[in-house]
Amino acid sequence: MSANFVQLSGPGGRVQTLVPAAGPQTFIFNPASLKGTLAGGDFLYADRIRCRITGVLTRTSGSSRPTPNWEQLAQALGQCRVYSQFTGEMVNKSMNSVPLLANHDSYFNNGLGQPTRARGQSSGSSGATVPIEYEFEIPFRRGYLYRDTDSCPWMPLLEGGIVEIDLQGANALVPFGWTMTGNWTCEAVIDWFPDKQALIHTPVQSRLYRVSTVGPEYLLRGVGSPNGLDGVVSGSRLAILSWLGQGDSADISDQGHDSGFYAAFAGGGILFKSSQLQRLDVPFRDQVSIDSVSSFVSSFLAETKPIRHRTNTSAIGAAYIQSDLAGWPFAMDPLLTVTQMQLLNDALNFFPLVWVGAGDKISDLQKVDGDLSFTATLGSPPQSSTLHLFRTDEICGFSANKVLDLMDRMGLSHTSRGGSYGYVPKYADAKRADESTQWGMPLKIVRAA
C-alpha cells in the first residue's frame, strides 16, 4: 500500500500538547473533511488510526534501571475512544485502553506477529531525562482474518465524530523508576485504502469483561450484546477470547506489572505461573478437562510464529538487561532461567482461550449470543475475590434498517427508499443476508436490476 493517510486535527490543531499533571488528561481529535471517493470513483475505507506520542521521562529511581520497555511505556497512556455519529461507539472508552491495544490486540491485528520493532533503551543517574517516542494504532482492519479488510468502514462514517486518547498522570511510570515530565504531544492519522466496490463493512467490537471471583468458575455475561454500537443485531461471532494476566518482566521483579491491563482498576489479575494454573475446562470449545494447560500456549505459538528478539545489551549491569519486548509472545533472552523459559510463566500478558486459525473466514467462527463460562483450577488461588479481565473480539452485523441508513449516508439509497440500489452478501457462497444469518457478513452494494 502506498502512503494513503489523512492527518486529523482537534481543538489544539494537528499536534495536541499536554503537560502531565496529577491525573489523566485527554488528547482530542475531530475527524473532518474526510473524502469518500477518489476522482476515478473508487471508494475509500479506513484501515486504522495511527497515533504518535512524544514526551520526556525523568529518572526518579536511584537504581540503574533502563527506560521502560514497549509494554511498560503503554501505561503512560490510558483509555481511548472512537465515536462515530453514524455507527456509535466504534471503540468504547470504558472497554479500551492503550495497554490493551498495544499489549494484547496488536499481536492479533498484526497478523499474529510481533507488533513493533525492537529498539534501544537508555539508562542514567537519578534526575536524567530521556526523550521518548511511542506509536500505537487503533485498528479497523483485523489482520487475523483471512479477508482482513472486511471490517474496515467507509471513511466518511468517521466524519464529525471524535477520537480520544488519555494521557495518564505524571506518576504513571513511577513503579518503573521514571516520571513523565515536560510537554507530551500526540498526532493522529487515518490510514485508508481504495476499493472499486461500495461495501457495508462488518462491525467488530473489542470488549472487556470484568469477572470478580475466587474461582474456579469464570462467567462472562452478555457476550454478543451491542454495547454502544448503533444498529447492530444481538449476537456475534467470537474471534478472540483471552484471559488477561498481570504480566511481569522476566528479569526484573521489583516493579509494577508490565501489561498495564489492571492499572485502571486499582489492581487485580494473576500471574499464571505463580498461581499454578493446572487445569482448564472450556466446554463451549469442546475442550473439557485439559490438564496440559501449556498446550493452549504451544498451540497458539504454533499459529503466531513469534519473531525472536535478542536482549538489548547495555552497560547498566546484567541484572537489569531486558528486551524491549520482554513479555509474551515470549521474547528470547539468554539470561533467563529454565523456569522463566517455560511456556507457562509469569511474563505471560494473556492466556489464549479462543483465537482465529490460519485461513479461517468469518463464517467459520463460532456464534455467541449470551453467557459463556469456563472452569480453571489454580494450585495457588487468590485467598479472596479477585478481579479478572477477559478480552474479546466479537464480529457483529448491522440490522437491515441500519444497512439502509448507511447506504443513504453513502449516497447510494436502497430501492425501498426511492433509490436505485440493493445489497447482497460480499461473497458469492454466503447465505442470503437477513436478520438471522448476516452476523458478521460484509455486504456489497449493487445497482438494482
Q: What single string gives the DSSP state of each residue in 76-121?
A: GEEEEEEEETTTEEEE-GGG-BHHHIIIIIHHHHTTSS--S-----
- Do 392 and 354 fall within a single domain? yes
Q: Is 388 found in the same domain as 428?
A: no
For residue 402, being part of any structural domain is answered with no
What is the rounded average pLDDT of the residues 50-77?
Answer: 84
- Digit-coded pLDDT (tens) for 202-230: 999 999 999 999 889 999 999 988 888 89
Characterize 431-440 residue by residue with b for buried, 16 or more Cβ atoms within 10 angstroms of its Cβ, and e for exposed: eebeeeebbb
Verify that 386 and 430 share a domain, yes or no.
no
Q: Report CA-CA distances (Å) from 4 to 38, 53, 114, 326.
A: 12, 20, 23, 32
pLDDT in tens, 128-172: 888 999 999 999 999 888 888 999 999 999 999 999 999 999 999
The answer to the question of residue 405 being in a domain is: no
Going from the C-alpha of 379 to that of each of 216, 273, 284, 390, 417, the distances in angstroms are: 11, 10, 24, 21, 61
Q: Do 324 and 433 lie in a common domain?
A: no
- The answer on 173 and 145 residing in a single domain is yes
Record the pTM.
0.89
The answer to whether residue 199 scores a pLDDT higher than 60 is: yes
- Phi, psi torsion values for 236, nearest 5 degrees: -155, 170
Cβ neighbourhood burial of 188 (10 Å; 0-12, 13-18, 19+): buried
Name the H helices within 255-347. 294-304
Are 376 and 426 part of one and the same domain? no
Q: Residue-wise over 296-321: b if at least 16 C-beta within 10 A, else e?
A: bbeebbeebebeebebbebebeeebb
Same domain, 387 and 434: no
Q: What is the spatial distance between Cα 68 and Cα 326, in angstroms, rounded to a whole number? A: 10
Strand ranges for 204-341 from DSSP E: 204-213, 217-223, 236-244, 277-282, 287-290
**Looking at residues 265-287, what average pLDDT do you find?**
83
Q: 354 in a domain, yes or no? A: yes
Report yes or no on 428 lying in a domain.
Answer: yes
Is there a cis peptide before residue 203, judged by omega within 30 degrees of 0?
A: no
Give strand pairing partners of 354: 241
pLDDT score at 435: 54
| Residue at 321: amino acid letter | I
Choose one of 354, 371, 397: the last residue of a domain.
397
Position 151 scores a pLDDT of: 93
pLDDT digits (tens, 9 = 90+) for 351-377: 989 888 767 788 888 888 889 999 999
Q: Please state the separation of Cα 198 from the chain's center in Å.
A: 27
Q: What is the mean pLDDT of the chain?
A: 84
User: Does residue 145 share a domain with residue 74?
Assistant: yes
DSSP secondary structure letter of residue 11: T
Range with the poorest average pLDDT among 235-249, 274-288, 376-390, 424-438: 424-438
CB atoms within 10 A of CB 33: 8
Whether residue 406 lies inside any domain: the answer is: no
Most confident of 60-64, 183-187, 310-314: 183-187
Q: Confirm whether 327 is domain-assigned.
A: yes
Beta carbons of 211 and 107 less than 8 angstroms apart: no
The upper half-sphere exposure of residue 422, i.e. CA atoms within 13 Å in the direction of its Cβ, equals 6
Structure confidence at residue 413 (pLDDT): 96
436, 288: one domain:
no
Does one domain contain both 344 and 447? Answer: no
Backbone φ and ψ of 280, nearest 5°: -135, 140
If phi > 0 it is left, if psi is from -120 to 50 it is alpha, else beta; for residue 384 that is beta
**How many whole angstroms separate alpha carbon 301 and alpha carbon 330?**
9
28 and 176 belong to one structural domain: yes
The reply to whether 393 falls in a domain is yes
Within this chain, do residues 349 and 448 fall inside the same structural domain, yes or no? no
pLDDT tens digits along 88-112? 999 999 999 999 998 889 888 876 6
Residue 404 lies in a domain: no
Number of domain units in the chain:
2
Which range of residues forms the domain containing residue 163? 5-397
Give every CB contact of residue 411 below 8 A, 6+ residues apart in sequence: none
CA dist 323 and 311 (Å) reads 4
User: Which of 52, 166, 22 is CA-nearest to residue 98?
Assistant: 166
